[in-house]
Chain A
Amino acid sequence: MKKAIVVIITVLVLLAFGLAECLFVKNIVTNLDNSVGELLGKYEQNKDDVRNLIVDIDSIKENWDKHENTLCLIFNHKDMSVITDGLSRLKSYTINNDYENGIVELKLLKTNTEKQPHVMGFNIHNIL
């Protein structure tokens, strides 16, 4: 009986953990994707001088860094570093007003943030 209770509690904890993870990840990644989308629009409007967008990039980076440690408990660190490195490179290009490289990096980042919910989420492709 004791074992049955332990197993039931374990199953409930696993299910609750899975649900919390789904909601948490969806929230963070969706926010990041929206922010990157907005930044992409602004970037294309400010082709001549992208340096004034550094505040937006810092804000996105700060928000990502804040959640990165928690996400590291759940996800492969290599998947996480793709976004972290992308944001760092984007910041560097923006400081140097390098629109060409900046927009490429931003588009890559957008692709990555778009596919993250799929990579990290619960779906048939990941199961199989």
Chain B
Amino acid sequence: MIYTLICRSLIVFLTVFLLIRFMGKRQIGEMQPFEFVVTLVIADLATIPMSDTALPLLHGIIPLFTLVCLHYLLCLLSRKSILWRKLINGKPIIVIGTNGVDYEALRRLNMSFNDLIEGLRTAGYFNLEEVLYGIIQTNGTLTAVPRAPYAPLTASDMNIEKEQATLPMIVFAEGKINKENIGIAGIDSSWLALQVKKAGLNGLNEIILITLSNTGKLYIQPKNKPFVVYQSNYKGGSW
């Protein structure tokens, strides 16, 4: 019986894992109401045949596949049709407008003022007057648009030129060169080893991590030394 339970657990785990991966990353993070329902039901369905050996495993697996197909259909409908999107996901509701808090909207959402203020704090605002618009998104999160005096200053407000943000890529980690990423960057291991030497380190054998940004900046983390940032002559960063 123990072997049966182990095998069943493995099969159910792998099936649920594959199905959740199939449903997409959004499933884990920001869930729409129907995705939340599907996730809850999947979790419950998976555990029943795992422990009850009188039930065929198919009794758990077939509903799982049915739900995943249903989930796909609902996602497709909400992508393709505005009406279906409204029906399935609902629509964002403005709870704070130019005139302040919309009590009716809060009541429709079954939200209290405490819930609203808690949501605002999570969004980074501690006073209601700081917020021009507060919107409850379809996945239940609160998005706040601050009033101009409370909005954070940006570089463009100050007419300051800022260096463009870069996207670093891991090219070397834990003793291994990431072949896929050095292929994307169009470099090779000898170039990487040369840059490490130029950065004042002995060689790749003492490094645990190297990232390369698209402006050619290398972040090099040796095993037992402080990190080094080295600007290489790399010019090909268009990823």
Contacts and interface: CB of A to CB of B under 8 A. Distances in A.
Contacts of B22: 3, 6
B62 to A, nearest CB: 7
A124 B73 CA distance: 24
A14 B65 CA distance: 8
B45 to A, nearest CB: 15
B77 to A, nearest CB: 13
A74 B55 contact: no
A3 B72 CA distance: 8
A123 interface: no
Interface string A77-109: 110000000000000000000000000000000
Contacts of A76: 54-56, 59
A119 interface: no
Interface string B31-60: 000000000000000000000011110110
Interface residues of A, number: 15
A73 interface: yes
A7 to B, nearest CB: 5
B interface, over-half SS: helix
Nearest to B71: A7
B111 interface: no
A77 B22 CA distance: 31
A76 B58 CA distance: 10
Range of interface residues on chain B?
A: 10 to 19
B27 to A, nearest CB: 13
A73 B58 contact: yes
B69 A11 contact: yes
Contact of B56 (A3, A6, A7, A74): A74
B65 A75 contact: no
Given A3-B22, A6-B22, A14-B62, A77 B69 contact: no
Nearest to A81: B54
A72 interface: yes
B75 to A, nearest CB: 9
Contact of A10 (B55, B58, B65, B76): B65
Contacts of A3: 22, 72
Interface in A1-46: 3-4, 6-7, 10-11, 14, 17
A73 B56 contact: yes
Interface string B157-179: 00000000000000000000000
B99 interface: no
Contacts of B58: 73-74
B120 interface: no
A4 B73 CA distance: 9
Interface of B: 22, 53-56, 58-59, 62, 65-66, 68-69, 72-73, 76
23 contacts: A3-B72, A6-B22, A7-B72, A7-B73, A10-B65, A10-B68, A10-B69, A11-B69, A14-B62, A14-B65, A14-B66, A14-B69, A72-B56, A73-B56, A73-B58, A74-B56, A74-B58, A75-B56, A76-B55, A76-B59, A77-B55, A77-B56, A78-B54
